[in-house]
């Protein structure tokens, strides 16, 4: 499994969105048919939007993990954090010592 930091994931998301938008613009020069241009440009714009929206979802997840970590400093409860990424629920375990005890 590939492990990424939040900053790396955000950078990759920005680069992917820029590449997809660039691909949408480039498709206008390459394709001859107007319908093909609109279809491909729309598809690439939709993919760019999906990547961009997941970038903000990633930031929200990082904020939730940090909030749970800070709350657990005052509370003895150690809780895992659940986040959604492209519609899939991902559980992030508490990284502190003793958090793997149930």
Question: What is the pLDDT at residue 102?
Answer: 47
* Cα(15)–Cα(18) distance, integer angstroms: 5
Give the chain's mean pLDDT. 75
Q: Are 91 and 81 in contact (CB under 8 A)?
A: yes
* Cα(21)–Cα(15) distance, integer angstroms: 10
The answer to pTM > 0.75 is no
Question: What is the pLDDT at residue 19?
Answer: 92
The residue that leads in pLDDT, 54 or 77, is 54
pLDDT at 30 over 50: yes
Query: Domain residue spans in the chain?
Result: 6-92
Mean pLDDT of 40-49: 89
pLDDT at 44 over 70: yes
Question: What is the pLDDT at residue 7?
Answer: 79
* Cα(74)–Cα(83) distance, integer angstroms: 23
State pLDDT tens for residues 74-95.
Answer: 554 556 777 777 777 777 776 6
* Cα(72)–Cα(51) distance, integer angstroms: 31
């Amino acid at each position: 499994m590939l492990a990424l930091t939040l900053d790396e994931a955000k950078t990759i998301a920005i680069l992917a969105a820029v590449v997809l938008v660039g691909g949408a613009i480039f498709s206008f020069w390459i394709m001859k048919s107007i319908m093909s241009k609109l279809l491909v440009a729309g598809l690439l714009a939709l993919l760019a939007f999906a990547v961009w929206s997941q970038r903000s979802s990633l930031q929200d997840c990082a904020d939730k993990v940090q909030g749970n970590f800070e709350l657990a400093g005052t509370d003895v409860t150690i809780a895992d954090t659940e986040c959604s990424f492209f519609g899939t629920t991902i559980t992030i375990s508490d990284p502190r010592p003793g958090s793997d005890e149930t």
